Amino acid sequence: MDYFFTEEQQAIQEIARQIAREKIVPVREELDETQEFPTEIMKICGQADLFGINIPEEYGGMGLGTLDTTIAVEELSTACLAVSVSFAASGLGAYPILLYGNEEQKSKYLPDIASGKKLAAFGLTEANAGSDAGGIRTTAVKDGGSYILNGTKQWITNGGEAEIYTVIAITDKSKGARGASAFIVEKGTEGFSFGKKENKMGIRASATRELVFEDCRIPAENLISKEGMGFMVAMKTLDMSRPGIAAQGVGVSKGALDVAVNYARERHQFGQPIIGFQAVQHMLADMATKTEAARALTYAVARYVGSGAKDISKVSAMTKLYASDVAMEVTTNAVQVLGGYGYMKEYPVEKMMRDAKILQIYEGTNQIQRNVIGAALIKEYARKA
Ligand code: COS
């Protein structure tokens, strides 16, 4: 379906599609096997200006919006979610600076993120604070012109690979979620180290590591916004970035659908291509319909979120929830259409299915998304009543 993209959007789609086809597809299986971080592909994305899509021009970006980034993420995701999440996680890490950073912070950090010279990462989750993001225990204590950070962040995408980290830590324990603050921490700061790369079911080439802070002293000017705004910064960041997870879901669904349809056209059983069987056609029809519905919702929400609208939590959660559930279903059914071959590593769909699972978990589990949607409905209808 034609979504009537602008010329710029078509150009972004084309370049990301080309990177997916020419640079990612040939190496994705090996990257999955070796768990090697896709450094070279990140450089290529940087040369193609993809990291700067939604960063204002005065900070070296293209000055475009959320939908434009979403288009790039979708295309990269058709080939490999491990690569696309490494790309997207830099955008996630940049959001706190983009949304709440002051002029000095934006001028200092955004140009290197926009050019892809430096990757960013976002540090919120801890061992005992996943869905319950307000339960984080990492502390930041003011000491003269510095803050001293102590604690451990867990499962941080781009951990160890990124140079710039936006980290949420508690500055006032007595205030709960209102006692959290957001900080910028640079790789190489004394007292800041990384855990080992996690060995994962899917998105294996992406880097997932602990961030360890041991008396890590950072300049006080690295505080983003004000003390006490950390939970808000984190929640708004997630509101903005969840359509990107949806785009990952749409992309991997499209990738899996392509493999499944092409396989069904070629695979003969009972004397005919299996696509001739209605049982197979119906599966493919559902896969295609849900992928298109997820895409339409993702584009609409990305456009809305990027418009500066305030009430974005509900729709942002909806698109992440829907597109990630679709991705799990479509990739699982792609494996089913390929049958025994689908279960083998010679075909890409088993990897797509393993990769897709994380979409229902990270950036807030789909149960949390339903909580966010439910809470918004309660508020909305109470207002109307
Ligand atoms: N935008 C702005 N403010 C928000 C917000 C949002 N989207 N969501 C919550 N807040 C505010 C609330 O208004 C509340 O403020 P006050 O204390 O001033 O009333 C405060 O934040 C706490 O909100 P709430 O009580 O709803 O927080 P909970 O502890 O119940 O948690 C959920 C809310 C579950 C929605 C949140 O913790 C969450 O999103 N968890 C998942 C985290 C996640 O996505 N992790 C992935 C890791 S990062 S890749």
Residues 165, 99: Cα–Cα separation, whole Å:
15
> What phi, psi does 307 have (nearest 5°)?
-80, -5
Any domain includes 1: no
Any domain includes 2: no
| Residues 198 and 78 placed together within one structural domain of the fold | no
| Residues 238 and 189 placed together within one structural domain of the fold | no
Average pLDDT, the chain: 97
- CATH code (residue 69): 1.10.540.10
| Residues 93 and 132 placed together within one structural domain of the fold | no
| Residues 20 and 112 placed together within one structural domain of the fold | yes
Domain that holds residue 263: 231-384
| Residues 237 and 374 placed together within one structural domain of the fold | yes
Ligand 1 atom at minimum distance from 124 CA:
48
Residue 177 has pLDDT above 90, yes or no: no
| Residues 303 and 265 placed together within one structural domain of the fold | yes
Q: Which of 74, 75, 210, 363 is catalytic?
A: 363
Any ligand 1 atom below 6 A from CB of 100: no
Cβ contact 280:274 at 8 Å: yes
Task: Work out the angle at residue 316's Cα, subtended by the Cα atoms of residues 312 and 322, and round it to the nearest 5 degrees.
Answer: 150
| Residues 107 and 242 placed together within one structural domain of the fold | no
| Residues 142 and 264 placed together within one structural domain of the fold | no
Residue in 81, 25, 87, 27 with CA at minimum distance from that of residue 354: 81
| Residues 220 and 237 placed together within one structural domain of the fold | no
Domain boundary among 118, 152, 172: 118
Domain boundary among 175, 200, 230: 230
pLDDT, one tens digit per residue, over 29-49 is: 999 999 999 999 999 999 999
Q: How far, CA to CA in Å, does 303 sit from each of 14, 16, 326? A: 19, 19, 20
Name the closest-CA residue to atom 35, ligand 1: 372
pLDDT, one tens digit per residue, over 339-357 is: 999 999 999 999 999 999 9
| Residues 36 and 89 placed together within one structural domain of the fold | yes
Any ligand 1 atom below 6 A from CB of 362: yes
Residues 205, 33: Cα–Cα separation, whole Å:
8
Rounded to the nearest angstrom, the distance between the alpha carbon of 177 and the centre of ligand 1 is: 8
pLDDT, one tens digit per residue, over 212-255 is: 999 999 999 999 999 999 999 999 999 999 999 999 999 999 99
Any ligand 1 atom below 6 A from CB of 372: yes
Counted domains in the chain: 3
DSSP of 63-128: ---HHHHHHHHHHHHHH-HHHHHHHHHHHHHHHHHHHH--HHHHHHHHHHHHHTSS-EEEE--BTT
| Residues 238 and 380 placed together within one structural domain of the fold | yes
| Residues 239 and 380 placed together within one structural domain of the fold | yes
Domain boundary among 98, 118, 138: 118
Any ligand 1 atom below 6 A from CB of 376: no
Name the closest-CA residue to atom 36, ligand 1: 133
